[in-house]
Every structure is written in structure tokens, then in C-alpha cells.
Amino acid sequence: MGTNIIDIIPVARGDKPADVLLKNCKVVNVFSGEVEEANLALFRKRIAGIGDYEEGVEVIDLEGSYVVPGLIDAHLHIESSMVSPVEFSKTILARGTTTAIADPHEIANVMGLAGIEYMIRSTEGVPVNLYIMIPSAVPASTMETSGATISVMDMIGFVEKFQNRVLGLGEVMNFPDIINGDRDSIAKIELIRHKYKKIDGHIPGVLGKPLNAYICAFVRSEHECTTVEEAREKLSRGMQILIREGSVERNLVPLLPLINDKTYPFVSFCTDDKHPDDIIREGHIDHNVRKAIKHGIEPIIAIRAATINTARHYNLRSMGAIAPGYKADLVVVDDLNSFSPRIVFKDSKVVARDGKLVADVISRSFPQEKINTFKCQKISENDLKVVAEGRRIRVIELLGSEVLTGASVAVARIRDDFVVSDPSHDILKLAAICRYSEEKSMSVAFAKGSGLKRGAVATSVGHDSHNLGVLGVSDSDMVFAANRVIEMGGGLVAVVDGKIISELPLKIAGLMSDLTSREVAERLVELKEAAKSMGSILPDLFMTLSFVQLSVIPKLKLTNLGLVDVEKNGFVPLFVEEGENV
């Protein structure tokens, strides 16, 4: 039941009892920056008042604990958690995140608008305020085969249909198109900004006049800053700086010097991409708050970055604060410095205690046939053969958990006129296989830096189009691993000598599992251990492999259409001609 103004006013006046009375609270006031000792009167899903209220149908004595607003994640991709949207919501709710602003960029590149609709419909009624930024780049690149295209015409009806859940346009990654005045890209921005919704940015490292040009396109946030100098200029040009602390990109500590008494309203916290094992182990936005406080940020300023600053930026009018008429989304902590969520309230109800969910969260079903996105045929060893057309080959350099890859040239290992993997020099065969076509569409190249000595690994997580990626020492194991992923309808798998040693099925669009967060976390740990047992020297081989197809981030990438030199914005041959300067 919603809350009508006419109904809440008598409770606010103290003439009627609250539905829930929270007694003996230390209320963190994000407006005044002070802590008030008071009682909280809650009515239906809202806060009726702060003060000396005495009556409530239900009374909870918090015995002097601090009460802070429900936490808000300013920017994230649920798909990166590898669990369903409902399971993700449960996981973050237990850590005090009651509102999340998701960019379903990954599932949109696989399933188009149907994927975004799945994210919205499957979370209807879930006790998290889950908002959507409609992805701006589907497909992300013309140099790979994607599962869908979303045009400005597609967006018009969709934004109208889900106007209460769609907050704006997702991160505008193709900044050269904006700066150069590409009409199609700017048309998407024009559509969204004329509806007074937000445009999220993504413009790493760009400053000066090009940044000015980009911001002229009504782009008002940025989560890609890695240095204080970069963040300071972007903030001074009117951008909300979303400080990111995820599983890979950990920018929080380097960017904390940005925050001072003048700048703090323009800083928010986000996770961007965070795996369930990291959320369970260290936390979600509560981790950002805790870490900021530990590194010297005053607690209420850190809490503001996780609440009111984000709510104000995204026009979430009744979230992010403890005040009359605001949503009764609250987090109880015993100590502001250690900031460990003890009780979480959502819409006046206790939903979590001590990091564990205590409320039932109902999941809406979604037809399975709409979720399996693998149309490709299985592959054979013949598909992986590379005829030797020269002695030197381009090699992709894998750089740990980096989104970036390097590029180098190596002498090919040739056997019977075919180029094969060379584990003694850490140069292994790599393939990218299109999942969206019944006709085979795939490319084969080579990568170094994994350290793999035996077997093969395969994954259906391959940013941004999420075609199937497989890396291995032997062609037979590569075929086995790739075909197993196809059989599962998506997933991660490690194979040695024709035997599966670890796997994680990702049945939902080849991106997300139907298992619980804890089960997915355990499987991911198993997969990392399996990769290490096969010789991998990388922290997370599967994550590294997921970035190999990302044809918009340097240097050398492999898509199903071929080797991409990102800096030249074009395809390059595998073989280097004699005398060619690379």
C-alpha cells in the first residue's frame, strides 16, 4: 500500500500512532551533518517524523544505535555478479544497499530490449529500489557480432513503457562519436535529456576541450576517474564523480583526496562490477563507506556519498535521507567508524540482521526458452586449425585482471604446416566463437601471459557482445571446453585431458546463474583454483579472458570477426609480413 499525504499527516502530528516506532535512535542527519538523539515514527513505507514520538503499533528499541539512510549504489552492472537480478538484490540488501542504479549493458548486447525487460520484470516487488539506465551502446562495436541492436527508435517506446524504472541513458562509452557530432549517438541523448532524465558518462583520461565538448551533450556523471587530478577537473566542469570500488577497478583510496568541505556534495559511491564472493566477503556500498572512513574521511561525509548525494543527482526525491516523507529505508549500525550494518529496514520492515536476510523475497519466473541465447553449432578440431602463412605472428598479451591487453610479435611454433600452441613460451591458442548464428563465425589467434601448462578454459562472458571465448594448450581440450559451454547454454568451464575439472553454468543469457550468491561464490573459487592447478599465473584467468573480446579498449583484441588493433580502429592479420614494422 502506498502512502497518501492525507493519511501520514496525523501520524506526523503525533495524533495517531506510528505503524512502527523506533525508540532511542542516534539519527544521522545528512542535511545538517549532525547526529540527533530521537525516536522515529514510521507509517506504511515512509518516515512520518523524527522527535519525541511515543506510540507505535510495533515498537523497536534500538538502544542508542545509529540509524543511517539506506545505501545507494550509483552505478553497477548486475550481470557482473553472475547471479540473477533477484538473487543479487537479496545479496546487497543484506549489506544495507536498498537502492541500486543498474546499467544492463551486458544482457542488452545479448538479448536487446527483451533482456532489459527481463531485468525489470523479474525484480518487480523485490524489496530493493532497482532502477535502470537504458544502455547507450548496443552493439558496442561494429567489429564483432552482437546479439541485438538498440536504436533511438527502440528507446522511445521502451522509456515510455517503463518510465518509473528507467532513470536515464547508460554510460556513453563511444565518446569519439559524441565529440565528433555523430547524429545517431546524439539523438539518443536528445531523447533522454528532453525527458529530464540523466545521462551517465564514460570518458577515461580525457580532459580539456574534448571533455568540454562531451559534457555539452548533457553528460553529467563519470565513474572512470583513476587520478585525483582527472576527477578534480571533471567535477569542476559539472560532473558528479562516482567513486568506484569493485572487484577489479579499485579507485576509492586514490580518489579520496578529492573529497573536502567544498566538493563532497558532488561525490557518490558505486561498485560498477562486483562478484558475489567479494560482496559476501567484504561488503557492497557499506564497504566503500567503511574504507573511506578508515582512510580519514569524516563518517557523515562518507555516508552522504553513499546516500543523499546520489539521490539528489538522479532525482530520487524521497530517498537518501532520514526525514519526514522520505522512504523508510534505514540501516542500523552500532558504531559509525566500523560501519557494520546490524539491521536493515526496507519500507519500514526489518529485512536483514547481521548480514543475513530475514525477509522472504519472491522471485518472478521467466520463460527458459527466452534465456538460452546459444544458436551456434558445436565446433571441431578442424575449426581451430591455423595454416602457417608466415613465421611471425601477432600475440595478445594478457595483463592480469586488467581490461587492457598488450600486443607483441612472436615466432610461431609450426607443426605440419599449422601454427600450434607453444606452452614452453607461454603462447597459447585463443578462439572467439559467435553464439548468435547457426552458421559458424569464429576467429583463432594466440595469447601469452596466462601461464597455462595443460588443458583449456572457456567462458560465455566476453565483453561486450559476449561471444564464446576459449583458451587452451591442446585443440582437443579447447573443443571439449567450448562445446560444454554451448551444451550448458553458457557458463565457465575448465577442462584437462577431456575431463571437466570445474564448471559454473550460466543459464540466464550465458551471463548469470540460477544458483544462490553463496553457491556461485564457491564455484568461482573452485574455478580459480582449477585454473591455478592447470598452471595459470593470473589472479583470475576467467575474468582476464572475459576482456579479450573488448574491441573498444586497447591494444590487441580478438572478436569472432578477427584480430582488432583498437588504436588503429581496424582489423589486422595474424601473420606479420617480413620487414613489417609493428
Distance between CA atoms of residues 105 and 139, nearest Å: 9
CA 412 from chain centre, in angstroms, equals 37
Quick one: average pLDDT of 59-67? 98
CB-CB contact of 199 with 217 (8 Å) = yes
CA 422 from chain centre, in angstroms, equals 35
Q: Is 517 exposed, middle or buried (0-12, 13-18, 19+ CB in 10 A)?
A: buried
Residue type, 514: D
CA 553 from chain centre, in angstroms, equals 17
Q: What's this model's pTM, rounded to 2 decimal places?
A: 0.95
Q: Is the pLDDT of residue 1 over 70?
A: no
Q: What is the DSSP letter of 513?
A: B
Q: Cell triple for residue 193?
A: 535529456
Q: What is the DSSP letter of 245?
A: B
pLDDT digits (tens, 9 = 90+) for 92-133: 999 999 999 999 999 999 999 999 999 999 999 999 999 999
High-pLDDT (> 90) share of the chain, %:
90
Q: What is the pLDDT of residue 401?
A: 66
CB-CB contact of 249 with 402 (8 Å) = no
Quickly list DSSP for 42-61: EETTEEEEEES---EEEEEE
Q: What is the pLDDT of residue 400?
A: 78
Q: What is the pLDDT of residue 249?
A: 84
pLDDT digits (tens, 9 = 90+) for 400-417: 767 789 999 999 999 999
Q: What is the pLDDT of residue 16?
A: 98
C-alpha separations of 537 from 332, 427, 575 in Å: 42, 13, 27
Q: Is the pLDDT of residue 52 over 70?
A: yes
pLDDT digits (tens, 9 = 90+) for 505-519: 999 999 999 999 999
Quick one: average pLDDT of 552-577? 94
**Closest-CA residue to 297 (of 249, 251, 337):** 337
Please report where in the chains the cell 607483441 appears, as a residue.
Answer: 408
Helix spans in 241-306 (H): 252-255, 276-282, 285-294, 299-305
Q: What is the pLDDT of residue 368?
A: 56
CB-CB contact of 447 with 425 (8 Å) = no
**Residue ranges per structural domain of the chain:** 70-315, 381-572
Q: What is the pLDDT of residue 361?
A: 85
Distance between CA atoms of residues 565 and 533, nearest Å: 32
Give the contacts of 230 (CB within 8 A, at least 6 positions apart): 205, 207
Q: Cell triple for residue 308?
A: 543523499
pLDDT digits (tens, 9 = 90+) for 338-387: 999 999 999 999 999 999 999 988 776 666 545 789 999 999 999 999 99
Over the range 542-565, which residues count as b (16 or more CB within 10 Å of their CB) and which as e? bbbbbbbbbbbbebbbbbbbbbbb
Q: Cell triple for residue 367?
A: 520463460
Q: What is the pLDDT of residue 580?
A: 72
Please report where in the chains the cell 577489479 appears, as a residue.
Answer: 248
CATH C-level class of 70-315? alpha beta
Q: Is the pLDDT of residue 63 over 80?
A: yes
Whole-angstrom distance between the N-terminal and C-terminal Cα of the chain?
65
CB-CB contact of 200 with 75 (8 Å) = yes
Please report where in the chains the cell 535521507 appears, as a residue.
Answer: 321
Helix (H, G, I), strand (E, B), or coil: what is residue 573? coil
H/E stretch holding 410 reads strand 405-411
C-alpha separations of 273 from 223, 265, 279, 544 in Å: 11, 24, 11, 14
For the beta carbon of residue 232, count every other beta carbon within 10 angstroms.
16
